[in-house]
A and B are shown apart, each in its own frame.
Chain A
Amino acid sequence: MIRVAGLEVGFGHGRRRVHAVQNVSFTVPEGASYGLVGESGSGKTTALRAIAALVPPAAGRIEVDGRQVAARPDRAFRKKVQMVFQDPYGSLHPRHTVDRILREPCRIHGLGDIDGRIGHMLAEVGLGPAFRFRFPHQLSGGQRQRVAIARALILEPRVLLLDEPTSALDVSVQAEILNLLGDLRAARGLTFLFVSHNLAVVAQMCERVAVMMNGRVVEEADAGQLAAGALAHPYARQLLQASRGYDRELARSLVRFE
Chain B
Amino acid sequence: MRLEVEKLSVRFPTPTGVVEAVRGVSFAMGAEKLGIVGESGSGKSTLGRAILRLIAPPGEVRAERLAFDGTDLLAADRRTLRRIRGGRIAMVLQDPKFSLNPVMTVGRQIEEAVRVHGRTGRREARERALAMLEAVRIRDPARVYGAWPHELSGGMGQRAMIAIMLAAGPELLIADEPTSALDVTVQMQVLAILDDLVAERGMGLVLISHDLDLVASFCDRVLVMYAGRVVESLPAGELHQATHPYTRGLLACLPDIARPRRRLPVLERDPAWATEELP
Contact = CB atoms under 8 A, between A and B. Distances in A.
A176 B266 CA distance: 6
B266 A39 contact: no
Contact of A242 (B184, B212, B259): B184
A10 B261 CA distance: 38
Interface stretch (B62-70, B71-79, B83-91, B185-193): B185-193
Contact of B254 (A141, A200, A229): A200
Contacts of B260: 203-204, 223, 227
Nearest to A250: B188
A111 to B, nearest CB: 31
B274 interface: no
A154 interface: no
Contact of B264 (A141, A179, A227, A244): A179
**Chain A interface mostly helix, strand, loop or mixed?**
helix
B254 A242 contact: no
A199 interface: yes
Interface stretch (A85-93, A96-104, A167-175): A167-175
Contact of B217 (A172, A178, A246): A246
A174 B254 CA distance: 8
Interface in A148-205: 170-172, 174-176, 178-179, 182, 197-201, 203-204
Interface string B249-267: 1100111111111111111
Given A204-B261, A238-B185, A175 B214 contact: no
A27 interface: no
A207 to B, nearest CB: 10
Indicate the size class of the contact surface on chain B: 35 or more
Given A227-B259, A245-B214, A175 B265 contact: yes
Contact of B192 (A204, A227, A252): A252
A156 B143 CA distance: 54
Interface in B171-230: 183-189, 191-192, 195, 210, 212-214, 216-218
A197 B183 CA distance: 8
Contact of B189 (A141, A203, A239, A251): A251
A240 B253 CA distance: 19
Given A203-B260, A242-B188, A243-B184, A171 B210 contact: yes
Contact of A170 (B210, B218, B263, B265): B210
Contacts of B263: 179, 182
A205 B264 CA distance: 11
A141 B255 CA distance: 19
Contacts of B216: 245
A198 to B, nearest CB: 8
Contact of B257 (A39, A176, A243, A247): A243
A185 to B, nearest CB: 12
B154 interface: yes
A13 interface: no
A5 interface: no
Contacts of A170: 39-40, 210
B161 to A, nearest CB: 18
A99 B72 CA distance: 54
A222 to B, nearest CB: 11
Contacts of B214: 245-246
A76 B241 CA distance: 52
Nearest to B252: A175
A178 B184 contact: no
Nearest to B255: A204
A246 B218 contact: yes
A226 interface: yes
A44 B264 CA distance: 25
Interface in A45-80: none
A139 interface: no
A40 interface: yes
Contacts of A197: 183-184
Return the 3 tightest CB-CB contacts between A and B, nearest first: A245-B217, A175-B253, A251-B192
22 contacts: A39-B185, A171-B210, A171-B250, A172-B267, A174-B255, A175-B264, A175-B266, A176-B266, A178-B255, A179-B263, A203-B256, A204-B261, A204-B264, A223-B260, A242-B184, A244-B213, A245-B218, A247-B188, A248-B192, A250-B188, A251-B189, A251-B192
Given A175-B255, A199-B257, A242-B184, 5 more contacts: A175-B264, A223-B260, A243-B184, A245-B213, A245-B217
